[in-house]
Amino acid sequence: MADSGQRYRLGVIGSGVMGRALLNAAIRGGVVGAAEVIAADVSEACRLAVEQLGCDATEDNLQVVANADNLLVAVKPQVIREVLGSLREQFREGQLLISIAAGVPIATLQEAAGDAPAIVRAMPNICCTVGEAASAWTAAPGVNDGQRAFVAELLGAAGEAVEVEEKLIDAVTGLSGSGPAFVAVFIEALADGGVKAGLARDQAQRLAAQTVLGAARWVLDNDGGPARLKDLVCSAGGTTITGVAALEARAFRAAAIDAVVAAAERARELGR
């Protein structure tokens, strides 16, 4: 149980999978110490999990707002307006509020929370649970340089993080927010291909996953982007260019592009 007299550097409202993953990364990366964190959740299991990290836990959101300087709000988009509205009179002037609710724009967050907090809208993805998130964030006017640095450090502890204009957040949602599911489908399809070619399922799945992981690392660590990697693997008249041609014949690129755009459009719809 939290000590209401203590000041905390970070307060978390919503300690489910995403909130706890970001919290765990922040502690592991030295962004905050466990003793500097208070986290709230209605679920006893989530509170126990937070306590196992060494943090204080409570079921009272008001206690978090009253005692923490920076707030990470990790509740579902369907309830964030209600949650912020219930705390509206408790936010302090300039208190940092970071929302990870997909599709909920800064204007809506400000309408619910009032004028007191400095608001950041962030879009991490599920891969923060393994320390390999691809996150983007955008800040409202009034977020100071120190708070910006804290947000970059917090999200960066869980993977890669970039600051973008808010109008691009929906594109980020379609790309890196939804992208893990698209990549999972591709890994599964690669594994299915391996099975069809004669590999055992467990072997095919491990090889497929490692192939995607290795290719991603190559692109991040080398110049030339994915096109350069493709060209290095595709020899004249070889096996790989034959496989690439099969993908092209079935509009693989167009399908991937359409998936990202469709997801981004849906994010815009949800934010209206």
Residue 67 near residue 38 (C-beta atoms within 8 A): yes
CATH H superfamily, domain 8-165: NAD(P)-binding Rossmann-like Domain (3.40.50.720)
**Other Cβ atoms closer than 10 A to 183:** 15
**Other Cβ atoms closer than 10 A to 22:** 27
3-state SS, one letter per residue, for the chain: CCCCCCCEEEEEECCCHHHHHHHHHHHHCCCCCHHHEEEECCCHHHHHHHHHCCCEEECCHHHHHHHEEEEEECCCHHHHHHHHHHHCCCCCCCCEEEECCCCCCHHHHHHHHCCCCEEEEEECCHHHHHCCEEEEEEECCCCCHHHHHHHHHHHHCCEEEEECCHHHHHHHHHHHHCHHHHHHHHHHHHHHHHHHCCCCHHHHHHHHHHHHHHHHHHHHHCCCHHHHHHHHHCCCCCHHHHHHHHHHHCCHHHHHHHHHHHHHHHHHHHHC
Strand bridging mode 37-40 / 96-99: unpaired
The predicted pLDDT at position 242 comes to 97
Please state the φ and ψ torsions of residue 219, each to the nearest 5 degrees.
-65, -40
What residue ranges of the chain are covered by domains with CATH 3.40.50.720? 8-165
What confidence tens digit (pLDDT) does each residue in 200-241 have?
Answer: 999 999 999 999 999 999 999 999 999 999 999 999 999 999
What confidence tens digit (pLDDT) does each residue in 151-172 have?
Answer: 999 999 999 999 999 999 999 9
Quote the distance between the C-alpha of residue 196 and its chain's center: 34
Going 148 to 52 to 126 to 64, the CA torsion angle's sign is negative
Quote the distance between the C-alpha of residue 260 and its chain's center: 16
**Other Cβ atoms closer than 10 A to 122:** 24
Q: Is 230 buried (19+), middle (13-18) or exposed (0-12) by CB count in 10 A?
A: middle
What topology is assigned to 179-271 in CATH? ProC C-terminal domain-like fold (1.10.3730)
Low-confidence spans in the chain with pLDDT less than 70: 1-5
Whole-angstrom distance, CA of residue 121 vs CA of residue 113: 13
The predicted pLDDT at position 270 comes to 76
Whole-angstrom distance, CA of residue 233 vs CA of residue 215: 11
What residue ranges of the chain are covered by domains with CATH 1.10.3730.10? 179-271
